[in-house]
Amino acid sequence: MEKKFKVGLIRVLTTEDQDILLAHEKLLNQYFPMLTVETRCIPDQYEGIHSPELCMLAIPKIVETAKSFRDVDMIIVSCADDPGVEEIREALPGIPVTGGGETTLALARKYGEKIGVLGITDYAPKAYAKLKSDQLLIGRPDGVYSTLDLMMPQGRKSTVNMAKKLKEQGADVLALACTGMATIGIAKELEEAAGIPVIDPVMAEGLFAYFEYLKK
Protein backbone atom coordinates (compact mmCIF):
# COMPACT_ATOMS: atom_id res chain seq x y z
CA MET A 1 0.00 0.00 0.00
CA GLU A 2 1.43 3.38 -1.05
CA LYS A 3 2.39 5.68 1.77
CA LYS A 4 0.41 8.94 1.94
CA PHE A 5 1.93 12.25 2.96
CA LYS A 6 -0.20 15.38 3.07
CA VAL A 7 1.31 18.86 3.00
CA GLY A 8 -0.56 21.97 4.05
CA LEU A 9 0.81 24.78 1.85
CA ILE A 10 0.30 28.39 2.92
CA ARG A 11 0.46 31.18 0.35
CA VAL A 12 1.11 34.62 1.82
CA LEU A 13 -0.34 36.35 -1.23
CA THR A 14 -4.12 36.74 -1.06
CA THR A 15 -5.68 35.92 -4.42
CA GLU A 16 -8.95 34.70 -5.89
CA ASP A 17 -7.17 33.65 -9.09
CA GLN A 18 -7.01 29.87 -8.85
CA ASP A 19 -4.09 29.61 -11.27
CA ILE A 20 -1.99 31.88 -9.07
CA LEU A 21 -3.25 30.35 -5.82
CA LEU A 22 -2.43 26.80 -6.88
CA ALA A 23 0.79 27.58 -8.76
CA HIS A 24 3.10 26.28 -6.03
CA GLU A 25 0.91 23.23 -5.39
CA LYS A 26 1.10 22.35 -9.08
CA LEU A 27 4.88 22.71 -9.05
CA LEU A 28 5.19 20.43 -6.02
CA ASN A 29 2.89 17.87 -7.67
CA GLN A 30 5.13 18.01 -10.71
CA TYR A 31 8.40 17.68 -8.80
CA PHE A 32 7.23 15.31 -6.04
CA PRO A 33 4.12 13.35 -7.14
CA MET A 34 4.19 11.25 -3.97
CA LEU A 35 3.07 14.32 -1.96
CA THR A 36 -0.56 15.34 -1.54
CA VAL A 37 -0.78 19.12 -1.28
CA GLU A 38 -3.58 21.33 0.02
CA THR A 39 -3.16 25.08 -0.56
CA ARG A 40 -4.66 27.93 1.42
CA CYS A 41 -3.86 31.64 1.30
CA ILE A 42 -4.02 34.15 4.12
CA PRO A 43 -6.65 36.91 3.99
CA ASP A 44 -6.23 40.61 3.15
CA GLN A 45 -2.64 40.47 1.94
CA TYR A 46 -3.09 41.29 -1.73
CA GLU A 47 0.51 42.42 -2.25
CA GLY A 48 1.98 39.50 -0.32
CA ILE A 49 4.95 40.31 1.89
CA HIS A 50 7.62 42.76 0.80
CA SER A 51 8.45 44.68 3.96
CA PRO A 52 9.01 43.95 7.68
CA GLU A 53 5.71 45.70 8.45
CA LEU A 54 3.75 43.47 6.09
CA CYS A 55 5.54 40.44 7.53
CA MET A 56 4.46 41.30 11.08
CA LEU A 57 0.92 41.88 9.87
CA ALA A 58 0.87 38.50 8.16
CA ILE A 59 2.25 36.29 10.93
CA PRO A 60 -0.97 35.93 13.01
CA LYS A 61 -2.91 35.17 9.80
CA ILE A 62 -0.34 32.55 8.82
CA VAL A 63 -0.57 30.83 12.20
CA GLU A 64 -4.37 30.76 12.07
CA THR A 65 -4.26 29.37 8.54
CA ALA A 66 -1.87 26.65 9.70
CA LYS A 67 -4.29 25.71 12.48
CA SER A 68 -7.12 25.40 9.96
CA PHE A 69 -5.56 22.42 8.17
CA ARG A 70 -6.79 18.96 9.12
CA ASP A 71 -4.74 15.74 9.09
CA VAL A 72 -1.61 17.16 7.49
CA ASP A 73 1.80 15.57 7.92
CA MET A 74 3.71 18.79 7.30
CA ILE A 75 3.17 22.53 6.81
CA ILE A 76 5.03 24.72 4.35
CA VAL A 77 4.90 28.51 4.47
CA SER A 78 5.65 29.23 0.83
CA CYS A 79 7.50 32.48 1.36
CA ALA A 80 11.24 33.17 1.31
CA ASP A 81 11.11 35.15 4.56
CA ASP A 82 9.72 32.15 6.51
CA PRO A 83 7.03 34.29 8.22
CA GLY A 84 5.25 32.43 10.99
CA VAL A 85 7.40 29.31 10.71
CA GLU A 86 8.72 29.51 14.27
CA GLU A 87 5.29 30.52 15.59
CA ILE A 88 3.62 27.54 13.90
CA ARG A 89 6.22 25.20 15.37
CA GLU A 90 5.30 26.48 18.81
CA ALA A 91 1.55 26.33 18.15
CA LEU A 92 1.57 22.89 16.49
CA PRO A 93 4.36 20.83 18.07
CA GLY A 94 4.97 17.50 16.43
CA ILE A 95 4.23 18.67 12.89
CA PRO A 96 7.24 19.44 10.68
CA VAL A 97 7.16 23.05 9.47
CA THR A 98 9.41 24.83 7.01
CA GLY A 99 9.51 27.79 4.64
CA GLY A 100 11.06 28.96 1.44
CA GLY A 101 13.94 30.84 3.08
CA GLU A 102 15.63 28.26 5.27
CA THR A 103 15.26 25.53 2.65
CA THR A 104 16.67 27.67 -0.17
CA LEU A 105 19.61 28.76 1.94
CA ALA A 106 20.42 25.19 2.95
CA LEU A 107 20.66 24.15 -0.70
CA ALA A 108 22.47 27.31 -1.82
CA ARG A 109 25.30 26.69 0.65
CA LYS A 110 25.99 23.41 -1.12
CA TYR A 111 27.00 25.30 -4.27
CA GLY A 112 29.31 28.00 -2.99
CA GLU A 113 30.43 30.42 -0.31
CA LYS A 114 29.17 33.66 -1.85
CA ILE A 115 25.39 33.65 -2.26
CA GLY A 116 23.55 36.06 -4.54
CA VAL A 117 20.20 36.75 -2.88
CA LEU A 118 17.80 37.71 -5.66
CA GLY A 119 14.50 38.95 -4.29
CA ILE A 120 11.97 41.78 -4.09
CA THR A 121 13.45 43.59 -1.08
CA ASP A 122 16.68 45.43 -0.38
CA TYR A 123 17.44 43.13 2.55
CA ALA A 124 17.99 39.39 2.79
CA PRO A 125 15.35 37.12 4.34
CA LYS A 126 15.85 36.36 8.02
CA ALA A 127 17.17 32.85 7.33
CA TYR A 128 20.35 34.49 6.02
CA ALA A 129 21.03 36.47 9.20
CA LYS A 130 23.55 33.92 10.49
CA LEU A 131 25.80 34.36 7.47
CA LYS A 132 28.63 36.87 7.41
CA SER A 133 28.03 40.02 5.39
CA ASP A 134 30.82 39.12 2.97
CA GLN A 135 29.02 35.88 2.11
CA LEU A 136 25.98 37.73 0.75
CA LEU A 137 25.26 39.79 -2.33
CA ILE A 138 21.74 41.24 -2.29
CA GLY A 139 19.97 42.26 -5.47
CA ARG A 140 16.46 43.57 -6.11
CA PRO A 141 15.51 43.92 -9.80
CA ASP A 142 14.86 47.48 -10.95
CA GLY A 143 11.17 48.36 -10.74
CA VAL A 144 10.27 45.24 -8.75
CA TYR A 145 8.75 45.93 -5.34
CA SER A 146 6.25 43.10 -4.89
CA THR A 147 5.50 39.63 -6.21
CA LEU A 148 2.93 41.18 -8.56
CA ASP A 149 5.68 43.10 -10.37
CA LEU A 150 7.39 39.83 -11.23
CA MET A 151 4.38 38.83 -13.32
CA MET A 152 4.90 41.77 -15.68
CA PRO A 153 7.22 41.43 -18.72
CA GLN A 154 9.45 44.26 -17.50
CA GLY A 155 9.72 42.63 -14.07
CA ARG A 156 10.91 39.41 -15.63
CA LYS A 157 13.47 41.25 -17.78
CA SER A 158 14.77 43.18 -14.77
CA THR A 159 15.12 39.94 -12.82
CA VAL A 160 17.29 38.41 -15.54
CA ASN A 161 19.44 41.54 -15.62
CA MET A 162 19.93 41.48 -11.85
CA ALA A 163 20.92 37.80 -11.96
CA LYS A 164 23.70 38.70 -14.40
CA LYS A 165 24.85 41.57 -12.17
CA LEU A 166 25.05 39.35 -9.11
CA LYS A 167 27.19 36.88 -11.05
CA GLU A 168 29.46 39.74 -12.16
CA GLN A 169 29.79 40.83 -8.52
CA GLY A 170 31.11 37.40 -7.58
CA ALA A 171 28.10 35.25 -6.67
CA ASP A 172 28.74 31.49 -6.80
CA VAL A 173 25.04 30.65 -6.66
CA LEU A 174 21.74 32.51 -6.82
CA ALA A 175 19.18 31.98 -4.08
CA LEU A 176 15.77 33.18 -5.21
CA ALA A 177 14.44 35.18 -2.27
CA CYS A 178 10.84 35.39 -3.42
CA THR A 179 8.62 32.39 -4.13
CA GLY A 180 6.92 34.54 -6.77
CA MET A 181 9.96 33.80 -8.90
CA ALA A 182 8.99 30.15 -8.72
CA THR A 183 5.43 31.10 -9.70
CA ILE A 184 6.71 32.60 -12.97
CA GLY A 185 9.09 29.67 -13.53
CA ILE A 186 12.18 31.79 -14.10
CA ALA A 187 14.90 29.68 -12.43
CA LYS A 188 16.11 27.90 -15.58
CA GLU A 189 16.17 31.15 -17.53
CA LEU A 190 18.25 32.79 -14.82
CA GLU A 191 20.64 29.83 -14.68
CA GLU A 192 21.22 30.05 -18.42
CA ALA A 193 21.64 33.84 -18.32
CA ALA A 194 23.99 33.97 -15.33
CA GLY A 195 25.83 30.69 -15.84
CA ILE A 196 25.69 29.69 -12.17
CA PRO A 197 23.33 27.45 -10.14
CA VAL A 198 19.94 28.91 -9.19
CA ILE A 199 17.92 27.61 -6.24
CA ASP A 200 14.17 27.70 -6.77
CA PRO A 201 12.46 28.13 -3.35
CA VAL A 202 9.39 26.02 -4.13
CA MET A 203 11.56 23.16 -5.33
CA ALA A 204 13.62 23.55 -2.14
CA GLU A 205 10.50 23.45 0.05
CA GLY A 206 9.36 20.31 -1.72
CA LEU A 207 12.72 18.62 -1.34
CA PHE A 208 12.50 19.04 2.44
CA ALA A 209 8.93 17.73 2.36
CA TYR A 210 10.16 14.73 0.39
CA PHE A 211 12.74 14.06 3.11
CA GLU A 212 9.96 14.09 5.72
CA TYR A 213 7.93 11.76 3.52
CA LEU A 214 10.81 9.29 3.38
CA LYS A 215 11.22 9.46 7.16
CA LYS A 216 7.56 8.75 7.90
Residues 155-197: tens digit of each pLDDT: 999 999 999 999 999 999 999 999 999 999 999 999 999 999 9
Determine phi and psi for 187, rounding to 5 degrees. Answer: -60, -45
Are 55 and 83 in contact by the 8 Å Cβ rule? The answer is: yes
Say how far apart CA 135 and CA 111 lie, in whole Å: 13
**pTM for the full predicted model:** 0.93
Say how far apart CA 108 and CA 170 lie, in whole Å: 14
Tell me, what's the pLDDT at 146? 85
pLDDT one-digit tens code per residue, 6-59: 999 999 999 999 999 999 999 999 999 999 999 999 999 998 888 899 999 999
3-state helix, strand, coil in the chain (%, to 5): 45, 15, 40
Tell me, what's the pLDDT at 3? 74
pLDDT one-digit tens code per residue, 117-148: 999 999 999 999 888 999 999 999 999 988 88
Amino acid at 178: C
